[in-house]
Structure 1
């Protein structure tokens, strides 16, 4: 039986496993399994990909960067972003594995964002500077949308949350939450922004999908902003993974 799976640590509830197993059942896809592989050290990864039955894995926290040391090749977007969430595993006739890394988060984000954009959406604030922000920034560059990071500590060319004011929010109409603030179970939390200055011209995009409507999105919605959570992004990247693994 062919094998697919997700590596990371720790691994609790997995969107990916549920999604693919339901897909296999609905589409009558047989002789393929998808499972979770929590590995405490990235050095344990070879024990998975040297198995000839494996032909693809997803990668989640904390290994999206570290896993690149084990890859033979990176796709263009993975090379630019310097983070990988999808790996295609090919085996030679002799059984030697060849691994190519992709970043399908970028594809999912781009395709879910584009229909929401309006003519005035020229600048974006990216909340958080972790790994998720890398794919977002790659897409914003690709779409020609200027962007500035917002984080708790001051660094070169970024804003701190304390610096965000009415004039900045009037200039930046797109606000993307790449931080974990507001994730279940801490659903009452939201990024520290002056929401009183949000208008109907703003677009709030939250990479979080649990809860479906975060406090961040609710506060934007109350001011008339367009809102979007990260669920469609997940669906799109999942289908892109499947396309890559079976191309």
Structure 2
């Protein structure tokens, strides 16, 4: 990377950001296309969020990714919110050209899953009812899922999310239940999406939300956790003969979508994926 006076800056804001894999992924993309851009991570305290956005505008920064804890609060400082990001109620990408916020987390998950199966007319079970579940559930509905069942330990949270997704008009059948019912829910499901942090580093030996006996070989299993790459849930899925989809793919495709928003160009996905795998020490 050759930083010059003309170099365009994009980046990440969050608190903390030291763990992020986005800088190597995006900088590899800019290098691949020989674009005069650089991607930098900025640790922004919540009390400094407004001044960070104002400062970025003044410094002619081209775009930001937004991570925890700023995804909701940042919306009040933007001029426009993409329709689906508005339904989700959170933004993870800002384009400073028009001060518009987007949410690419859900589309990242959808594109990861669609590498192996269509979502249209499929029955999907989503474990978890937090921010990731919300983003993914709206995009599953947008991409034509036949039904979505949202499971959570706190059933009221699952019910609240199910009402919101059903109320979007994107899908008619959204069900909520306890995570303890996952075994019976999976018997007729086509896709399982796990948005819980279970099995995330350093707790890599957590008991998975579902065991091999709960799954079947026609099931596609996506885990949003990407560190470790092969979570306890995906190990169980492989044992059951189900098709695994790795969380690194969601990170990859949400990044590719942000890249296109900022630059107007298709992202070099292969170069980005190689950088991610190198960073995670994967083969």
| Structure 2: segments with no counterpart, 5+ residues | 1-6, 160-174, 265-283
Give the Cα–Cα distance (whole angstroms) in 1 for the partners of residues 62 and 16 of structure 2: 22
Partner in structure 2 of residue 94 of structure 1: none
> Cα distance 1:190–1:18, how it changes in 2: closer, same or farther (>3 A)?
farther
Give the CA RMSD over aligned residues.
2.1
Choose the corresponding residue for 1:171, options 155, 164, 188. 188
Give the Cα–Cα distance (whole angstroms) in 1 for the partners of residues 120 and 132 of structure 2: 25
1:216-246 deviation digits (Å, cap 9, x = unpaired): 1000110101110122222222222121112
1:96-140 deviation digits (Å, cap 9, x = unpaired): xx4101112222222222242269973221111111112211122
> Cα distance 1:118–1:38, how it changes in 2: closer, same or farther (>3 A)?
closer
Q: CA deviation at 1:48?
A: 3.4
Give the Cα–Cα distance (whole angstroms) in 2 for the partners of residues 48 and 133 of structure 1: 32
Q: How many residue pairs align between the two structures? A: 238
Give the Cα–Cα distance (whole angstroms) in 2 for the partners of residues 120 and 170 of structure 1: 19
Partner in structure 2 of residue 144 of structure 1: 145
1:204 aligns with 2:221: yes
Give the Cα–Cα distance (whole angstroms) in 2 for the partners of residues 163 and 88 of structure 1: 41
1:180 aligns with 2:197: yes
1:213 aligns with 2:218: no
Matches within 5 A, 1:120-159: 122-142=122-142, 143-155=144-156, 156=159, 157-159=175-177
Choose the corresponding residue for 1:231, options 221, 237, 248. 248
| Structure 1: segments with no counterpart, 5+ residues | 91-97
1:137-161 deviation digits (Å, cap 9, x = unpaired): 1122122331121111222352222
Partner in structure 2 of residue 106 of structure 1: 106
Contact map agreement 2:64 2:94 (CA 8 A) in 1: yes
Give the Cα–Cα distance (whole angstroms) in 2 for the partners of residues 70 and 14 of structure 1: 24
Partner in structure 2 of residue 35 of structure 1: 40
> Cα distance 1:205–1:245, how it changes in 2: closer, same or farther (>3 A)?
same
Structure with a larger share of its residues in strand: 1
Counterpart of 2:125 in 1: which secondary structure? strand
Counterpart of 2:10 in 1: which secondary structure? strand
Give the Cα–Cα distance (whole angstroms) in 1 for the partners of residues 30 and 75 of structure 2: 29
TM-score by length of 1: 0.87
Give the Cα–Cα distance (whole angstroms) in 2 for the partners of residues 50 and 199 of structure 1: 51
TM-score by length of 2: 0.77
Partner in structure 1 of residue 26 of structure 2: 20
Bigger drift between 202-211 and 142-151 goes to 142-151
